[in-house]
Amino acid sequence: MTVESGTEIGKVGVIGLGTMGAGIVEVFAGGGLQVVGVEYSLDLVEAGRDRLRHSTERAVRRGKLAADGRQALLDRVTFSSSFDDLADCDLVIEAVSERLELKREIFRRLDEIVGADGILASNTSSLSVTEIATATARPAQVIGMHFFNPAPVQRLVEVVQTVSTSEEVVAAVVALAHRLGKHPVVAGDRAGFIANALLFGYLNRAVTMYENGHVSREDVDTAMRVACGYPMGPLALLDLIGLDTAVEVLATMYRQTGDRLYVASPLLGQLVTAGRLGRKAGRGFYTYESAGSGALVDDARTPVPRSVAHDVTRVGLVGSGAQVKAVGAMLEAAGVEVRRDSTAADCDLVVAAASGVPVIELAVAAGRPSDVVGMNVPMPDSDVVQVVRTVEASDAAVESAASLCLAAGRTPVVSADRAGLVVDALLFPYLNDAARMVESGYTTADGADAAMKLGCALPQGPFEVLEEVGLGVALGKQWAIYDEVREPGLVPSPLLVELVTAGRGFRD
């Protein structure tokens, strides 16, 4: 294949036949390409061959692949323990462990073996493709081609272009991804590319929130699943990824960027040191039935189930804005009498509709701070109600408020009295990170949306969320979160500020 000629890639090589590498072999062979799968020993070759056989057998059982199609796919794959068998490949991709020197050594060898027109690709998820490319004499033909696990199922492929990668190589790899039925998103060579850069910042913030006692592990996970529609909560997702893997990814991203967002929460490191690596170890943030199981079992941190029973008959409601209406409707659905503002004194419980003002200020003004809790409905169509626990609120008041939520058919999440509570405090900094990414020219709004929906299975991309809530609302919430802690990484994106001022959107 000559890249400049636009000839289709017809033969590919895959180095590393673990779970990811074997999956990439299956994708290429399923797309009609001839594939050479290479490992370092015959034992590893056989293990890779078995992974491919078992995966395609499952696909046949599930009706995803016909039996004759499976055989044709397998016939297109040859296996080897010799790099020399990659010499006539049009493209070779490595899928070995995330060790920079190992990948550089592989690329040095490939540079000597693969034909002069061959494209060399890395499936790295966090390392610098530019650094890998410097091991070769052909940096213009080196590119990142980051598949997501499991590769046969996940549609996203991040195509990572370095400052040296030629446009012809980018076009050839994008065309190949389309041919394979994937959705390619082109990104610059930045730490974590798109999906991991946004995902791991969000996950790290969630760990810090839990570590600081802002919210329980169950409630932070429930909040993001139920309010935002995420498939998993952040702590449960980290257990699935592996806490050791998360620490390694964050460390790599911090080394490349110097951004404190990627300094792993101390709790992550402590859990790894203790051997609590997540599901694969049977313990992480949660405890599981056995190593590798996803079934949870109770442990010392498992909370007592909340009860719908309560002895509240009258609730005083204070505050202003749209939250008063939303919280008031929820309380009425719980079957209690709701008294507002000046009539709130003679009540069993006082609820402050939390909408930007610290609840403790309203609690002190009410003259009975131990009986005052905050409530916030973060999303109009969500079942979640955030119950705000101030430093003065009694346990009885907090539990009564949670019980009222249950009585109304809602899902209570208890949070400390902090800017953004749980949902906004995790959601809007993530949206701000995405805005900064586009501002830097690193990707587009469409690219970021596709990456997060296809790569992380989120129901909406960050810019779809921004368009739904409104850029002005998002900017106001981000300023409030920044103002509380003055962390430089939380300063609103200048592009977001500019667009709000101009009355424009990210796609205008």
List active site positions. Answer: 125, 146, 158, 196
Closest CA to 348 of 387, 317, 382: 317
- Taking CA atoms, 361 is separated from 203, 354, 392, in Å, by 30, 11, 11
Q: How far apart are CA 283 and CA 289, in angstroms?
A: 9
Closest CA to 76 of 123, 16, 10, 153: 10
DSSP states of 318-332 as a string?
Answer: E--SHHHHHHHHHHH
Number of residues that make up the chain: 508
241 sits in which H/E element: helix 234-241
Q: What is the dihedral of CA 362, 366, 371, 372, to 10 degrees?
A: -20
**Token pair listed for 436:** 């900064």
Which residues are CB-neighbours of 476 under 8 A, at least 6 positions away?
none
**Token pair listed for 444:** 């587009």
3-state secondary structure of 232: coil
183: exposed, middle or buried (C-beta count within 10 Å: 0-12, 13-18, 19+)? middle
3-state secondary structure of 159: strand
Q: How far apart are CA 240 and CA 165, in angstroms?
A: 34
At 339, the amino acid letter reads R
- Taking CA atoms, 297 is separated from 196, 284, 290, 399, in Å, by 29, 12, 9, 24
Closest CA to 30 of 22, 38, 19: 22
424-459 burial, b if ≥16 CB within 10 A, otherwise e? bbbbbbbbbbbbbbbeeebbbbebbbbbbbbbbebe
**Token pair listed for 61:** 């059982």
Closest CA to 492 of 480, 503, 501, 504: 480
At 56, the amino acid letter reads T
Q: In what order do the strands lie in the sheet with 337-340?
A: 337-340, 314-318, 349-353, 372-376, 384-389, 411-416
Helices assigned H by DSSP within 62-193: 67-75, 100-113, 129-133, 167-179
